[in-house]
Structure 1
């Protein structure tokens, strides 16, 4: 059994429409494990007002979604850990960025001086308010108002991170340690530089900066044992969330997991394939192994050592 909270304000609804919570927290009735799961890019509620601003059709604009990742990890709640899941789409707002990574070319007026307009992610069109979806397709027909962009950050980005921060802090206080698993998917054609084989799963730990090496090595080992081709940090080492919340010296460990969409979804139609249920079961097995490893097989001294 579990319960779902839908905190926040009217984050992604259109005026006059029924309010839609921008994200939800799926909690077990009792948290029994020092884990927090986060799915920041699987949101698939697209406001009509946003679609009307876009030059893309309803299918093309979904190319940046981490399709159904919240469903792939749904079993973690029954296993004793909370799951924070976005309902707003990544194309509308990306919470795996700094709060103000903004592209001045997208807006009809000057941005505030504290905006980070020079990051590599902004240059690539993938800032906090993205300019592009996958395959370098422009999202918007015209410029956005500065007020619109800042409003999304204040109404949705900040409450999202406030809730994620609270979940991690509560877990850390209760168990003396906390493990954040930041859950994502990647296009099926992703390859590791220097190799021809496409990875099934990539574990990112910011090259050891966001989690103890033993934790990320265990994740790679467990997933490999389930038959998946797993690599570490390349080409995805972890984004803002992993970097921002991972503090292994304080017992706060953050891993990013990227799952090849070819394992479970048809990328053209976005329909789940027969591989979905098998992958979901394997991910539950992986989570169970990680929980047992932290609970029984790894000392606090080793967790804090790196």
Structure 2
């Protein structure tokens, strides 16, 4: 069951810092939060288990080994069903709200049309979250008190790392249902790597990740069905030395998707991902040394 919290009295997100940062790699888990505000649960028409279907459950724990390997991990504690930081700040559906949205709101994106804007309308198989319209002030409050501070902290972490090392790799960590909605997606890969079709990170980063993961026994796909969301698109700038790679993990590898519980596969997957994390950090460190040598 999700933990009920008052979002004003407990940390909504955090950076778990290593004792010593050894390479320009940052891990981010924006959708693994499971602390549900009591006021939110009181306003929804769904039961807690249904709401949790939108979580990237336990993904922050799967990548927690990064901290011991010398890389920070940022994670949200608030749930995606409450607020999605992997969207534009004002990607909002006007049908959901009472009142006028800000003039800079993006009301026409495909994500809004699908019910998955900054404030989601649905979870799971198109289950409506709310049985009423929300005051627009409530949406603005979530964005001002959670979304913007989250991105400010992530942006500072990226800038700090880039300033220290001359480059940075952001690994945006997610999970996906084991079965897709269409016949073409029925047999999903174990892991999907997204780089916005070659625009959010250097090809060497994506190639290294795929080779490593395949070597660990995973089936790997690129950009289909997930090429990366707002975080991948917004922070990825390879020409400036800022690389963002989205990693989507098949939930069937590590959890019972109906009961929302870890399976025996969780420990196995954690150990495999720890190897991936170590190799990515080693790769980033080696690349950093090559660039320094070339500059001297």
SS in structure 2 opposite 1:282? helix
Q: Encode CA deviations 1:3-53: one digit per residue, 9 max, x unaligned.
A: xxxxxxxxx944xx9811110110012211110110000000011110011
Q: In the TM superposition, what are the counterparts of 1:141-180 in structure 2 within 5 Å?
A: 141-180=131-170
1:190 equivalent in alignment to 2:180: yes
Quote the residue 1:129 is aligned against: 119
The answer for unaligned runs of 5 or more in structure 1 is: 1-11, 302-306
SS in structure 1 opposite 2:48? coil
In 1, distance between residues paired with 2:145 and 2:287? Answer: 42
Query: How far did residue 196 of structure 1 move?
Result: 5.8
In 2, distance between residues paired with 1:74 and 1:159? Answer: 22
Quote the residue 1:99 is aligned against: 89
In 1, distance between residues paired with 2:149 and 2:131? Answer: 28
Query: How far did residue 193 of structure 1 move?
Result: 7.7
Counterpart of 1:219 (choices 189, 209, 223) is 209
Contact 1:192 1:199 in 2 (8 A): no
Aligned residues: 288
Please give the TM-score of this superposition, normalised by the length of structure 2: 0.93
1:242 equivalent in alignment to 2:229: no
Specify whether residues 195 and 272 from structure 1 end up closer, same or farther in structure 2 by C-alpha distance, changes over 3 A only: closer
In 2, distance between residues paired with 1:130 and 1:111? Answer: 15
Q: RMSD of the TM alignment (CA)?
A: 1.8
1:228 equivalent in alignment to 2:218: yes
In 2, distance between residues paired with 1:212 and 1:190? Answer: 28
Query: How far did residue 148 of structure 1 move?
Result: 0.4
Greater relative contact order: 1 or 2 (C-alpha under 8 angstroms, separation 6 or more)?
Answer: 2
The answer for unaligned runs of 5 or more in structure 2 is: none
Q: In the TM superposition, what are the counterparts of 1:29-40 in structure 2 within 5 Å?
A: 29-40=19-30
Query: How far did residue 60 of structure 1 move?
Result: 0.4
Contact 1:190 1:199 in 2 (8 A): no
SS in structure 2 opposite 1:125? coil
SS in structure 2 opposite 1:46? strand
Q: Encode CA deviations 1:92-136: one digit per residue, 9 max, x unaligned.
A: 000000000000011011111111111110010000000001210
Quote the residue 1:111 is aligned against: 101
Contact 2:28 2:170 in 1 (8 A): yes
Quote the residue 2:283 is aligned against: 293
Contact 1:191 1:197 in 2 (8 A): no
1:261 equivalent in alignment to 2:254: no
1:200 equivalent in alignment to 2:186: no
Query: How far did residue 295 of structure 1 move?
Result: 2.0
SS in structure 1 opposite 2:134? coil
